[in-house]
Structure 1
Amino acid sequence: MTIFPFDLFPLDGIPRWIVVALFVLDWAVRLLALGWIPHNRRPSVALAWLLTIFLIPLMGIVLFLLIGSAKLPRRRMEMQAKMNEVIRENTPRAYILGNEHGELPEWILSTAELNYNLGALPMVGGNAFEILTDNHESMQVMAAAVDRARDYVHFEFYIVAIDDASRGLLDALVRAHQRGVRVRVLIDHLGSVGYPGYREMVQEFDRVGFPWQRMLPVRPWRGEWQRPDLRNHRKLLVVDGEVAYTGSQNIIHRSYNKRKNLRRGFEWKDLMIECRGPVVAELNALFTSDWYSETGDLLLDEATRELPDIEGPVFAQVLPSGPGFETENNLRLFNHLIYNANEQIVISSPYFVPDESLMHALTTEAQSGVEVKLFVGETSDHFLAYHAQNSYYQELVDAGVKIYRYRSPTVLHAKFVLVDDYVSVIGSSNMDERSFALDLEVSVYIVDREFRRRMDEVVEEFHAASTLLVPDEWEQRPVGQKYLDNVARLTSALL
């Protein structure tokens, strides 16, 4: 005789046919998910969703339907594809511009070709860079650049709010608009909403009247809807096509003005670069692409039509990534660089939750004798990501990776990858599934020994402010913390 769950646990007052229907529906959902969820998904992501659905079937399916697709709406994807094609049509059919790259190692040139095939932008010579490591000082530098603007200013950031630290830069945008400069502003909607000073900023921008747009807005009452956790995480500012700024920083006080941060003394540590040369045109192309995707307005008169073929000495290349592309561009770049390292790899990432491919790359290189250093935060503002990344440390140190934890209450937020004595990658991308698949990011690939040497000075500063993780001490952390770390790891493919 067949025994159903309701025979063991009778539910008085509920018709038997309803219980049977719910039982059948429950298992139908599970079986359907087994053949549906893995389609075109990495096994780790598919398994995380299947675990969610098997534990909470109906709620799991609802969540999957809401946030399960790492693709933008079809119309947005079509617009992104059109802009990618426009960029390709307006750039030379060469993945490197400049004639002094012959002395570079072959793997550096193959990296440039990879980036070109992924993001349509070539590696260009004749650039110059400055490194900005203080959040508030960098906003002052950017404000001064905006005050010198004569033609246009393109401003795109994930989080923006008015406060004592950011007011100077935001006021500079207003002044530029008032003197006739074409100012265009993009701000991620959900990234910024809720921060103190955001509402005041919206009111000020609307009052001034210069063109600004929420990126990837989620306002269904206005017909604006897409998967809410697909965000534009890029940070960039372009002035007159002559100077640009990009990196990890948002436009807000380094405490983010949250009471809990102020109470605990949290202050964010970022890194930005000031860019000059042809690479500025590539960053501007990325802004015009995002502006078109949000507004339908193609800013051809505010974009460089042809990149100059300038000889070295500093080569650089912009790589866009995110759900607007078919592949995880930034992850492919990072893995390629790691596997080609011969001497040293240095990574700074506030949210380090690697997928299998990145984990294999780092441990393989460490075991092959390459010095691998990883800078992460001793503290974090994201509970799940913090505990998930803790779960990877033991495997990394066992393979020979040196993990440096930037001491609290500073919250490490700088994002970079350094390889040997040639390569630096600076940008907005973390080492986690969100940055690889869910967020629109920007990375700048810089090939120059002198710039790499200057990044070593940043690394030394990080060394002085960090504590080396000792494997034996880490293994002795409380059992409760290990439990949280391991549970959070199960969600890592969905973070």
Structure 2
Amino acid sequence: MAEVWQWLLDHGVVVITYLFLAIDVILRILGLILVPRNRRPGSALAWLMAIMVLPIVGFPLYLLLGKAELPRKRREKQKVVNRLMHARAQDIPDSELDEDAPSWLQSAVRLNRELGAFPLTGNNVADLEIDYDTSLARMAADIRTAQHEVHVLFYIMALDAVTEDFFAALAEVADRGVKVRALYDHLGSLTHGSVYRAMRRHFDAHGIEHYPMMPVKLFRDGAFQRPDLRNHRKLLIVDGQIGWLGSQNMIAAHYNKRANIRRGLHWQETMARLRGPIVSEMNLLFSTDWYYESSEQLPMETVVTTPEDTSGTYECQLVPSGPGFVFENNLLLFNQLFYSAGQRISAVSPYFVPDESMLAALVTAARRGVDVELFVSEIGDQFLVFHAQRSYYTALLQAGVRIWLYQAPTILHAKHVTIDDSVTVIGSSNMDIRSFLLDMESSMMIGGTDFMAKMHEVENAYRSRSRELTLEEWEQRPVPMRLLDNLCRLASSVV
């Protein structure tokens, strides 16, 4: 034993060197075998570059963040959820598009039904709210009308000075016997510290049943789970009759972050309030997420209800997406609409990091004469994403896309698209790779000329608060900034 120990002392450096080289080669070979399987070429190349440059760091990161899927037991549960969604969606009546609707819109409806199970519903009422405090006040007022149940799901929920009345409304109805169920993303809400804990204490004090979605447990269900798979949806349903959907989280507009308050940053949102048959689709989506986290199947008669208000004229269809679905539902929907547009595309997205197919769809639309405009923020709150999205501006501007920069210190966090005068898509989905692959999202497709007029009013308001970026201005930016943008674009491909 002493001789072996002495030999290791004498030759340790050589042994460690050869061992390191062996591990280095093995990790590179494993990377070449594992990374390209069922992965976009751009993403595969980015991961392979990370592994080849520094295998000891790159390969463990790939194991941690390289697979955009749920662990086996969670996937099995998701299959149950999808079957449940398909079965219960049969009880929601189908609607037909107006005779003057373009043929491509019917194709989009069929695509959405195939991807997400939900039918097109008619006779819906919808309006918009873009004032942050007013939308909170209106949601609280709707909650106070509840007689049976309230369902709340937000990526971020926190009890602070701005959201206090919303949570007070939930407590009031819970105290008088209304069933309140609440879901919030674990990581999205947990990072807000004291106001997150205050919300949980508030729920417990008033007997409100609540669960964190996608809780961060690396080895939950007996298998490794990628920690950045998140539920990014925002939904509020009252008695199955009133529904809210959009981009706004349940937190103060500055997100209670000292850096945001110091810089004067605050978030601009767009929310839609809906009544009619579409609210049952929203309730059904909530019920699947509820089952996913609580294992409780909500009674069918409380999930799909007969709408009290069918006076509306809008056709609506809900489109869920996320890692639990086989296809990237939101990406396929956006691309279908972009290629179908004949006159106009107006897109609003705070985080615009498209994959190759979406970039091609927008550039192609602009090149064939469609009036394409993109609203983004002049400043960013996420360094990597902000600089990655800037790397796409040159190709868009050269193709003729008009880029509107929503002026600082506001972060334009709204997420919606209008196509011609035919259809709107609004919801929680950004136009970035994370929203396409990693986040559970909810988007709503809404048709109706009256609703399009409302959307154009919102776009006009955002345009009045923005300045247009020109190709001449963009080409004059410093070379170091160009290099930084392109480097961040490469890093953003590693998903």
* Post-superposition offset of 1:193: 1.1
2:117 counterpart (116, 120, 142): 120
Provide the C-alpha distance between the structure 2 equivalents of 1:259 and 1:424, rounded to a whole number of angstroms.
36
Provide the C-alpha distance between the structure 2 equivalents of 1:222 and 1:65, rounded to a whole number of angstroms.
16
1:463 aligns with 2:463: yes
Q: Residues 39-58 of structure 1: matches in 2 within 5 Å?
A: 39-58=37-56
* Post-superposition offset of 1:74: 1.9
In 1, are the aligned partners of 2:124 and 2:311 still within 8 Å (CA)? no
CA deviation vs aligned residue, 1:370-405 (integer Å, no higher than 9, x gap): 000000001111000000001110111001110001
In 2, are the aligned partners of 1:100 and 1:312 still within 8 Å (CA)? no
Provide the C-alpha distance between the structure 1 equivalents of 2:324 and 2:218, rounded to a whole number of angstroms.
21
Secondary structure, aligned partner of 2:89: coil
Q: Given residue 99 of structure 2, which amino acid in structure 1 is its aligned partner?
A: G
Mean CA deviation greater in 441-450 or 198-207: 198-207
Provide the C-alpha distance between the structure 2 equivalents of 1:316 and 1:194, rounded to a whole number of angstroms.
34
User: In structure 1, what is the equivalent of residue 249 of structure 2?
Assistant: 250
User: In structure 2, what is the equivalent of residue 431 of structure 1?
Assistant: 431
1:373 aligns with 2:373: yes
* Post-superposition offset of 1:414: 0.3
Q: Given residue 202 of structure 1, which amino acid in structure 2 is its aligned partner?
A: R
In 2, are the aligned partners of 1:90 and 1:306 still within 8 Å (CA)? no
User: In structure 2, what is the equivalent of residue 417 of structure 1?
Assistant: 417
User: In structure 2, what is the equivalent of residue 4 of structure 1?
Assistant: none
Mean CA deviation greater in 448-457 or 476-485: 476-485
Secondary structure, aligned partner of 1:238: strand
Provide the C-alpha distance between the structure 2 equivalents of 1:343 and 1:202, rounded to a whole number of angstroms.
48
Provide the C-alpha distance between the structure 1 equivalents of 2:62 and 2:261, rounded to a whole number of angstroms.
36
User: In structure 1, what is the equivalent of residue 181 of structure 2?
Assistant: 184
Provide the C-alpha distance between the structure 2 equivalents of 1:452 and 1:214, rounded to a whole number of angstroms.
36
Distance 1:385 1:175, change over 3 A: same
Q: Given residue 486 of structure 2, which amino acid in structure 1 is its aligned partner?
A: N
Q: Residues 196-275 of structure 1: matches in 2 within 5 Å?
A: 196-219=194-217, 226-275=225-274
In 2, are the aligned partners of 1:128 and 1:276 still within 8 Å (CA)? yes
Q: Residues 74-153 of structure 1: matches in 2 within 5 Å?
A: 74-92=72-90, 97-99=94-96, 101-153=98-150
* Post-superposition offset of 1:209: 2.5
* Post-superposition offset of 1:27: 1.8
Provide the C-alpha distance between the structure 1 equivalents of 2:311 and 2:140, rounded to a whole number of angstroms.
31
Q: Residues 291-370 of structure 1: matches in 2 within 5 Å?
A: 291-300=290-299, 301-304=301-304, 313-370=313-370
User: In structure 2, what is the equivalent of residue 169 of structure 1?
Assistant: 166
Provide the C-alpha distance between the structure 2 equivalents of 1:205 and 1:311, rounded to a whole number of angstroms.
35
Provide the C-alpha distance between the structure 1 equivalents of 2:162 and 2:316, rounded to a whole number of angstroms.
30
Distance 1:477 1:343, change over 3 A: same
Provide the C-alpha distance between the structure 1 equivalents of 2:206 and 2:171, rounded to a whole number of angstroms.
7
Mean CA deviation greater in 267-276 or 18-27: 18-27
Provide the C-alpha distance between the structure 1 equivalents of 2:312 and 2:129, rounded to a whole number of angstroms.
23
For structure 1, which runs of at least 5 residues remain unmatched after alignment?
Answer: 1-11
Provide the C-alpha distance between the structure 1 equivalents of 2:102 and 2:219, rounded to a whole number of angstroms.
54
In 2, are the aligned partners of 1:415 and 1:430 still within 8 Å (CA)? yes
User: In structure 1, what is the equivalent of residue 24 of structure 2?
Assistant: 26
Q: Given residue 421 of structure 2, which amino acid in structure 1 is its aligned partner?
A: D
Mean CA deviation greater in 479-488 or 356-365: 479-488
Mean CA deviation greater in 315-324 or 162-171: 162-171
Provide the C-alpha distance between the structure 2 equivalents of 1:279 and 1:427, rounded to a whole number of angstroms.
14
Q: Residues 477-492 of structure 1: matches in 2 within 5 Å?
A: 477-492=477-492
CA deviation vs aligned residue, 1:420-467 (integer Å, no higher than 9, x gap): 001100000000010000000000000111101110011111111111
RMSD after superposition: 2.1
CA deviation vs aligned residue, 1:286-340 (integer Å, no higher than 9, x gap): 00000000010000242117899x7973100000000010110000000000000
Provide the C-alpha distance between the structure 2 equivalents of 1:440 and 1:453, rounded to a whole number of angstroms.
29
Please identify runs of 4+ aligned residues in structure 1 that moved more than 6 A. Answer: 221-225, 305-308
Q: Given residue 332 of structure 2, which amino acid in structure 1 is its aligned partner?
A: R
Distance 1:393 1:294, change over 3 A: same
Provide the C-alpha distance between the structure 2 equivalents of 1:479 and 1:135, rounded to a whole number of angstroms.
38
Aligned length: 483
Secondary structure, aligned partner of 2:249: coil
Mean CA deviation greater in 112-121 or 28-37: 28-37
CA deviation vs aligned residue, 1:337-363 (integer Å, no higher than 9, x gap): 000000000000000001000000000
Mean CA deviation greater in 200-209 or 37-46: 200-209
Provide the C-alpha distance between the structure 1 equivalents of 2:330 and 2:490, rounded to a whole number of angstroms.
23
In 2, are the aligned partners of 1:422 and 1:449 still within 8 Å (CA)? yes
Distance 1:494 1:333, change over 3 A: same
Q: Given residue 50 of structure 1, which amino acid in structure 2 is its aligned partner?
A: L
